[in-house]
Structure 1
Amino acid sequence: MRRDATRTPAARAARAAATAGAALAALVAAPAPAAADTGRELRTEQWGMDAIGAEEAAAVNPGDGITIAVLSDGVDDTHPDLRDAVTLGTDTTGSDAAPGDDGYGAAGTAVAGIAAGRGHGREFTGGIVGVAPAAHLLSVRVADGGDPDPAAVADGVRYAVAEGAQVVVLPATAPDDGLRDAVDAAVGGGVVVVAPAAAADPAAAVTATAAAPEPLAGAVTAVPVGEDLAPLPGAAPAGEGAVAAPGAALPVLQAGGGYTTADGAEYAAAFAAGTAALVRAEYPQLRPEQVAAALASGAAPAASGPAVLDAPGALAAAEEAAAGVPLYDEDLAAEADDGGPVPLWAWWVGGAVLIIVLLAAATLLLRRATVDPYDSRRPKAPDDDTPAADRGAARGRRRRGSGRRRR
């Protein structure tokens, strides 16, 4: 299928760059503004959303019913652009930090906004709208300043899976065997895991890691690129299945309110996580490896480095992959229609419950049949205040009436 040159990520980025340049410079130079003051302008500054075609893809399905777990330093759920979109989960670091504390959510809030920000204001036209604005966010705090501990990240992955997250986005960290095992289990359980690309150069500022380990098997690896769609300096060579995504000079949410800019692989991973949520929402029957393949095969070729994430392309690739995959397991459905194998103990339990129900129903019916709520069967005693003559007359009338009935 030929690709319309005017709809490629490069073309979209070029169109956005002219209007975004001046506004981005002003955003960097000025202090983080209040949400109400920046509103509508930020929509034109989000060059990354335009570069991957996020708005076009979200028009198909904005991520309804999908939960994205953000494993980072926390997500500030009080930000106007995340109102009613965040569940604050566990903190695997052992600290008791909360939104509003110093350093809380500096990275996680930005990641959350890119993946599933909802904007604010009238018809949600202000602020930052993420790739999957209808998805829900689960904040799992695995970092408390500095490099995340891989063991804390692994615990966070297991927690997110147990809480029902369909997409998990990891922080930048050097994975160990424990984290690899947790990711393998998550992918095996049907969860899409997105990981930032590691830095090849320890001095590179694009990620917090100081090494370039092998990519996590089964996870989508996101390599950050700038507005020219070229990988940022210091990004590690991409492994199989990696995609490039915007990761430089990005307008992002700031913990505590307002906005700032950010660079790095974690934010590129947020774009990939949001796109994975769109695919999962529209094609829930696809397995994690099929979702990852859709992101990779639907990406737009780049002049250098991995192909650039393209959300509409990912949806098109997912549609093709889902063509022969039913929404449910037809074998299990057929087994259910046939009655399915029922264990012997289930028959005994079911029979006992049925007998108890029948006995209770019979007892209730018997009691209802014998009850006399108005006490109509008991002969009424004469009222003590009734004169004796009147009582005798009444008895005589009853005897005469009974005699007529006998005749």
Structure 2
Amino acid sequence: MLGGNSRNRTHTRHTRGGTTTACAAVVTATAVLLGPTAAPASADPIPDYRPEQWGLQSVEAQELWEETRGQGVTVALPGVSVNEEHPDLVDNVRLDTRFGANDGDVGAGNATAALVAAHGHGMDADAGVLGAAPEASLLVLPTGDRMAEAVRFAVEEDAQVVLLPETDGSTDLTGATQDAVNSGVLVVGPAGGREDPNVLTVAGTDEEGALVPGSPDAEEIELTAPGADLVTAGPDLGQTEVTGAPYAAALVAGVAALVRSEHPQLRPDQVRAALVQGSRTGPDDLPALYAPHAEGEAVGTAQDTPLLDEDLLDARERAGAVPVWAWFAAVGAVLVLGALLVVLWIRRSTADPYGVKAERQEEDERIAAERAAEAPPASRRKKGGRRRRTRGK
């Protein structure tokens, strides 16, 4: 079950009605009755919990935000339930209940979703909590025993990252996760579940850098990330603190979304390698998530990786390759057609398509005929007229 080893501490806050509205009404009434001298000192009615988000600061995800905040990337969360109206999550969540009702542990689901892609709230989003990729999209797929179907559906919906929940290990998802990786999707999950080589397994650490209690053996852990006392979205409209491997995996999924947004040409294994190799030394010499170094690794890999998937192009060519001579013939035909079109355009531009020249010629001939008819006849000598004498006679 997701978040089975988490500790929750909810901070009381009401954004709609409740104590905040009541206090505001009392303050307003007092100001009206007693005048400006009775006005209390200014206070922020919506707490800003971001300074308490030590996990986000520890991995330094904000260092990547000048380049990307995860826009264009979808992170799928199969097997969880969320309150899509939470002010820190609203508009970032797409909820699809075809595999199960949204009636699970909303507290754990909200906490996980917010660590990935919470965007804060309030004026200029200056309150609430933030996730590692605040502009990424979340595809939430509540389900019980249809987890494999939900994972495959996430792939069909063009998710670039799939974040698995904590399970009891009874369900074998190897086939679905292999299909996801083959389709270009990075799969992230909490360490300690059923062994699956397709999943980047993550364990949680506390602020002192030690593994959280209940973490699995080191050989089951591929990457560590902050996973203790993390301030995130709560089950209602407030915030809470959680501890557990699923929440550490959520931070990794958020940083993975940043990398995928900035370098969409990278394959899942390349993003996975960037996250692990671009890490810092953590507990028991395990790698610890560090976003700036992961981005540096991704930049180096992306320089040698074209935006087009060459393997996919090769597969398409093998399936139905077009001979080289056919390409040359097609290019030649295009050039010939282009030359013909140019000739036709020149001829048409120099021709008289509207008959203007013919009409003018006809008009000129008519005017000439009228003038000829109006002109007097030429003079001729009359018979018997005077003749010029010849000299000498």
Aligned to 1:264: 244
Matches within 5 A, 1:202-351: 213-214=194-195, 216-239=196-219, 242-329=222-309, 332=313, 341=322
Tell me the TM-score normalized by structure 2. Answer: 0.67
Do the aligned residues in 1 keep the contact of 2:170 with 2:194 (CA within 8 Å)?
A: no
Aligned to 2:165: 171
Aligned to 1:54: 61
Structure 1 residues 34-43 or 226-235, which shifts more?
34-43
What amino acid does structure 1 have at the position aligned with 2:216? A
Matches within 5 A, 1:338-377: 341=322
Residue 38 (structure 1) shift: 6.8
Alpha carbons of structure 1 residues 288 and 330: separation in structure 2 relative to 1, 3 Å: closer
Residue 32 (structure 1) shift: 3.0
Residue 234 (structure 1) shift: 1.6
Matches within 5 A, 1:83-162: 83-93=90-100, 96-97=101-102, 103-143=104-144, 151-162=145-156
Residue 45 (structure 1) shift: 0.4
Do the aligned residues in 1 keep the contact of 2:205 with 2:212 (CA within 8 Å)?
A: yes
Do the aligned residues in 2 keep the contact of 1:73 with 1:106 (CA within 8 Å)?
A: no
Residue 302 (structure 1) shift: 1.9
Q: Secondary structure at the match of 1:227?
A: coil
Residue 40 (structure 1) shift: 4.9
The C-alpha deviation readout for 1:76-121, integer Å capped at 9, x for no partner, is 110011121111113534xx346xxxx5522111111000001011
The C-alpha deviation readout for 1:267-322, integer Å capped at 9, x for no partner, is 01100100110110011111101111100001111242522100111111111111
Mapped partners of 2:140, 2:242: distance in 1: 19
Residue 47 (structure 1) shift: 0.4
Mapped partners of 2:226, 2:309: distance in 1: 37
Do the aligned residues in 1 keep the contact of 2:282 with 2:288 (CA within 8 Å)?
A: yes
Do the aligned residues in 2 keep the contact of 1:167 with 1:193 (CA within 8 Å)?
A: yes
Residue 241 (structure 1) shift: 7.2
In the alignment, structure 1 residue 195 sits paired with structure 2 residue 176: no
Aligned alpha-carbon RMSD (Å): 2.6
The C-alpha deviation readout for 1:25-76, integer Å capped at 9, x for no partner, is xx94x75323587745301000000010011122221111000011233121
Mapped partners of 1:127, 1:287: distance in 2: 34
Alpha carbons of structure 1 residues 165 and 38: separation in structure 2 relative to 1, 3 Å: farther
Q: Secondary structure at the match of 2:284?
A: coil
Mapped partners of 1:43, 1:292: distance in 2: 27
Mapped partners of 1:173, 1:91: distance in 2: 20
The C-alpha deviation readout for 1:345-398, integer Å capped at 9, x for no partner, is xxxxxxxxxxxxxxxxxxxxxxxxxxxxxxxxxxxxxxxxxxxxxxxxxxxxxx
Residue 238 (structure 1) shift: 3.4
Do the aligned residues in 1 keep the contact of 2:102 with 2:142 (CA within 8 Å)?
A: no
Alpha carbons of structure 1 residues 245 and 39: separation in structure 2 relative to 1, 3 Å: farther
Aligned to 1:180: 174
Q: Secondary structure at the match of 2:248?
A: helix
Do the aligned residues in 1 keep the contact of 2:13 with 2:46 (CA within 8 Å)?
A: no
Mapped partners of 2:205, 2:85: distance in 1: 30
Alpha carbons of structure 1 residues 76 and 66: separation in structure 2 relative to 1, 3 Å: same
What amino acid does structure 2 have at the position aligned with 1:107? A
Aligned to 2:39: none
Structure 2 unaligned residues grouped into runs of 5+: 1-7, 21-43, 324-393
What amino acid does structure 2 have at the position aligned with 1:219? V
Structure 1 unaligned residues grouped into runs of 5+: 1-26, 144-150, 199-211, 343-407
Count of residue pairs brought into register by the alignment: 286
Mapped partners of 1:180, 1:33: distance in 2: 42
Q: Secondary structure at the match of 1:244?
A: strand
